[in-house]
Amino acid sequence: MKVVIDTNIVISAAISPSGNCAKIIDAIAENKEIQLYYNEKILFEYKEVLSRKHLRITDKIQKDIIESIKKAGIELGPNPSEILMPDESDRVFFDTALEADAFLITGNKKHYPAEYFVVLPAEFLKIFDIAN
């Protein structure tokens, strides 16, 4: 199974280590059947948001998350699509998921076109029977 994770999933996992988003990150790191895709633009956004002072995410947690993503993931530069986006700033996640034929896991489905592969964390956990 192939996945792309939106930044809000990474942030939620860092803030709430026992929540659904953390379970997804853990499953990606531990499960060879889940293949994560990312690219430099996605990593840049993860790093930028994780480092925001008001979130109070320690440098160690920030580093651990980014290293885990790099270790578990495959870098993929997507071809830009011409699909209309409700939030153009999220195009890189959508286009990467399209290119990889992957699920896009997000907490903000309204930022993306209504496509079967754009799923909420709880939907992903249920669909793929990952322990809640």
Domain that includes residue 118, residue range: 2-127
Contacts of 33 (CB under 8 A, 6+ apart): 1
- Give the pLDDT mean for 10-29: 92
- Are the C-beta atoms of 16 and 55 separated by less than 8 Å? no
Mean pLDDT of all residues in the chain?
92
132 within domain boundaries = no
pLDDT of residue 132 exceeding 70 = no
78 within domain boundaries = yes
Q: Residue 79: what pLDDT?
A: 85
pLDDT of residue 29 exceeding 90 = no
pLDDT of residue 25 exceeding 80 = yes
CATH code: domain of residue 108: 3.40.50.1010
Q: Residue 77: what pLDDT?
A: 85
Q: Residue 131: what pLDDT?
A: 61
